[in-house]
A and B are shown apart, each in its own frame.
Chain A
Amino acid sequence: MTRKFKIAIIGLLPLLVYCCFLCLEYYNKPPRDTATIETDVKISSDKLAKSFSANEIKANTDFVEKTIEVVGSIKKITNVNNRYTVLLQGQNDASHVICDVLPSSMEKVKELKRGQTVRLKGICKGYLLDVIMLNCILING
């Protein structure tokens, strides 16, 4: 092994370690924090639910994986499988906007009441009978 080659190896080693560190950090990156993501769409819960029930394909393009601030009246608050979820009134009693709340907003959500108008921010995932939003945080209540 020549002297030049040894120097090159020693010189490149920190770069290699740094690259490994970056890869590891990228691999272990946690999901994004909703609070720091810029809002894409602001909409009422009844309009959001109506958009999906009217044309799911178009609504998927318009809303899925977008960060949405949704405002609406609380139909129900549930605590199932250790998850707090706020159901906002949709365009009728059969369809709602389901907001799965992050642990950081759980204490505030516990104090909310049925019928109260709230604004939540989360990531829209799509539509079953209800619009599903995950990683939701309470903006105001």
Chain B
Amino acid sequence: MHKIITLFFIFAFFSGFSQDKIIARQGQVSFFSYTSVENIEAVNNQVLSIIDLSNGEIAVNMLMRAFVFKKALMEEHFNESYVESDIYPKLQFEGEIQDFDTIGTTAQAKIVKGAMTLHGVTKDIEVKTTIERLDSNYILSGDFEVGVSDHDINVPPLLRPNIAKVIKIMFRFEYEPYGD
């Protein structure tokens, strides 16, 4: 799976049909865990994504270590105990925007179907997204939920009350033609 995604990015950059590709080097992905004990949130402002406008294929790649927390200890626990960033440094998603209208200028609500690899576990997901077009630039935004146990993320029994079983993920990507 990792090789396929890497090849997608390489293809996107060195393909002769580069005018069909749009890129967001600084996409934003944030997550929120709500429990009665404490709320945990973090944001990653350096998420990479490429869309092939000719077929609606989309790839997202991000570094787990690039999530920023308000408290240093939360960041330490997140990277060392939960997502194990040394072993699984990246989250990767590869999918397709269903019925993507690349010409329309009004905001579109679309479904993105694909496979997300987190903590070494790949799961098929469907995400509802809003797509806006501003000239040659596109903005994709939306949110979805991820079950902690779906990706074999182990939370120590003592800390279970502090971590929600389902984490809300929010995203926003601003794409531009990749040659710019």
Contacts and interface: CB of A to CB of B under 8 A. Distances in A.
A130 interface: yes
Contact of B68 (A26, A31, A126): A31
Interface residues of B, number: 25
Contacts, number: 69
Nearest to A93: B179
Given A98-B46, A132-B46, A134-B46, A126 B65 contact: yes
A80 B174 contact: yes
Interface residues of A, number: 26
Contacts of B9: 129
Nearest to B12: A129
B69 A128 contact: no
24 contacts: A27-B73, A28-B71, A29-B71, A31-B71, A80-B26, A80-B45, A81-B28, A83-B26, A85-B26, A85-B46, A87-B25, A94-B14, A125-B46, A125-B63, A125-B65, A125-B66, A126-B63, A126-B65, A126-B66, A128-B46, A128-B61, A130-B48, A134-B46, A134-B66
Interface of A: 26-32, 60, 64-65, 78, 80-81, 83, 85, 87, 94, 98, 100, 125-126, 128-130, 132, 134
Interface of B: 9, 13-14, 25-26, 28, 45-46, 48, 61-63, 65-66, 68-73, 75, 89-90, 172, 174
